[in-house]
Amino acid sequence: MLFCFWIGVQLNCLKEGNMPEKEPLVFKNARIMTPMRVIDNGVLIVSDGKVSNVGSEDKIKIPENAKVIDAAGKYLTPGFIDIHLHGGGGADTMDATEEAMEKISVAHAKGGATSIVPTTTSAPMDDIIKAVKVIELAKKRTLPGAQVLGAHIEGPYFSMEQRGAQNPEFLKEPKPEEYLKLLDEYDCILRVSAAPELEGALELGRELRRREIVASIAHTNATYQGILAAVEAGYTHVTHMYSGMSGLTRINAYRISGVIESTLLLDELTTEVIADGHHLPPSLMKLIIKVKSLDKVSVITDAISAAGLGPGKYSIGGLDAIVEDDVAEEFEIPEEEGNYVAKLLTRDAFAGSVATIDRCVRNMIKLVGLSIQDAVKMATINPAKVIGLDEKKGSLAEGKDADILILDEDVNVIMTIVGGRIVYRK
Ligand SMILES: [Zn+2]
């Protein structure tokens, strides 16, 4: 298909399709955020779906046969990587269909995600397997939007007390005869979230470490001692900080640190924040970054199927929910257009985030006070490191995958490029 696309002063015709461009694709007149540094008047060349050269205009020769996109002085950043999301565009990972994966891929590419890690939820193991099968297929295919990197298994090995929105009917202890089948059969599993205090969960952690799968502490009532054992067993990450985890408790005269204090304290652990502006108030996001340091925190959407659809009534995992905007000063929730969240009809609990990851990056700037460069790190190189793909993704450097965004100063997504293909433009 041929499209003509105009940005800045230059008119260029670009071929869109499932293959990377044959001719080199060149971005010029860009503020390139690598994100370790910003190169003004930058040029970036894409060949065969990879970044083949990046630097300042005076140092790089633009190939003659190249297709040139003038970024008109806007930011060129690595594509965002969302390592925890359940759905979007009306579809859920648990729908377990290829169409659902495509809808999720497209909805999140609009929000600047070039890579996604679709996440399952606590359900009968057969349903989880069906979803993983579809994720495995999607990983091998070229999707119309964001690329699927692999699966995140969130549940069913969770604490009943800290289940949050996980269905209690399906929660259980991890048994090797169950999870080994899953791990043996599907290569696409990148990450497993589990409560380390459950019987068998440390053994699971060791198995995941052997297979280089991220073991993530989640929906857990563990104490500090339990978290120390989890780290020794191979758990390296903590799922959605402050959601579904124990905090400080007291037994008689004695205080016991929970998962919150342990995560803040232990340098061995990275974590992630649902930065939709509702799930965590700015003060808590500031606290996490202040204590953990910027390098150890990623932003995630944890988005559900209604992400990217706007306000209205939806059925979410069989529950009736309402997506509406929400301004509440006492909860530090700012007035902002499109600031939606999903709630149960009783409005006493969230039904999930409906954000795309661009909103999370904007929130780190607007609500937490980070620079755009630091906020971009939290959605690019940081999550790439968590899942061990930072050799290929999360930064703009020679040899890396050409997953690229053009962003304006307010982090509105102007264009999304996945593996050298333009998949979205505003
Ligand atoms: Zn969760």
pLDDT per position as a tens digit, 84-98:
999 999 999 999 999
The span from the CA of 227 to the CA of 273, in Å, is: 19
Res 297: pLDDT: 98
The span from the CA of 375 to the CA of 357, in Å, is: 11
Q: Tell me how far the alpha carbon of residue 45 lies from the centroid of ligand 1, in angstroms.
A: 39
What stretches of 16-159 adopt beta strand conformation (E)? 25-33, 38-47, 50-56, 67-70, 75-78, 80-85, 87-88, 91-92, 113-120, 147-148, 151-154
Tell me the average pLDDT across 111-124.
Answer: 96
DSSP assigned state of 402: -
The span from the CA of 355 to the CA of 80, in Å, is: 13
Res 21: pLDDT: 59
Query: Catalytic annotation on 410?
Result: no
Distances (CA, A) of 93 to 57, 89, 90, 111, 121: 43, 11, 10, 18, 9
Tell me the average pLDDT across 128-134.
Answer: 98
Closest by CA to 15, choosing from 405, 421, 424, is 421
Tell me the average pLDDT across 20-27.
Answer: 82
Tell me the average pLDDT across 134-155.
Answer: 98
Supply the mean pLDDT for the chain. 92
Higher pLDDT, 320 or 371: 371
Res 15: pLDDT: 39
Q: Tell me how far the alpha carbon of residue 219 lies from the centroid of ligand 1, in angstroms.
A: 7
Tell me the average pLDDT across 128-153.
Answer: 98
pTM of the model as a whole: 0.93
Closest by CA to 361, choosing from 280, 293, 299, is 299
CA 129 vs. chain centroid, Å, equals 21
Res 6: pLDDT: 40
**Bridge partners of 26?**
45, 68
Distances (CA, A) of 78 to 4, 84, 358: 24, 18, 12
Q: Tell me how far the alpha carbon of residue 164 lies from the centroid of ligand 1, in angstroms.
A: 7
Tell me the average pLDDT across 284-306.
Answer: 97
Given 82, 92, 276, 302, which residue is catalytic?
302
Percentage of residues in the chain having pLDDT higher than 70: 92
Q: Tell me how far the alpha carbon of residue 302 lies from the centroid of ligand 1, in angstroms.
A: 8
pLDDT-based confidence at 329, cuts 50/70/90?
Answer: low
Q: pLDDT at residue 327 above 70?
A: no
pLDDT tens digits for range 182-219: 999 999 999 999 999 999 999 999 999 999 999 999 99
Q: pLDDT at residue 13 above 60?
A: no
Q: Tell me how far the alpha carbon of residue 154 lies from the centroid of ligand 1, in angstroms.
A: 7
End-to-end Cα distance, the chain: 18
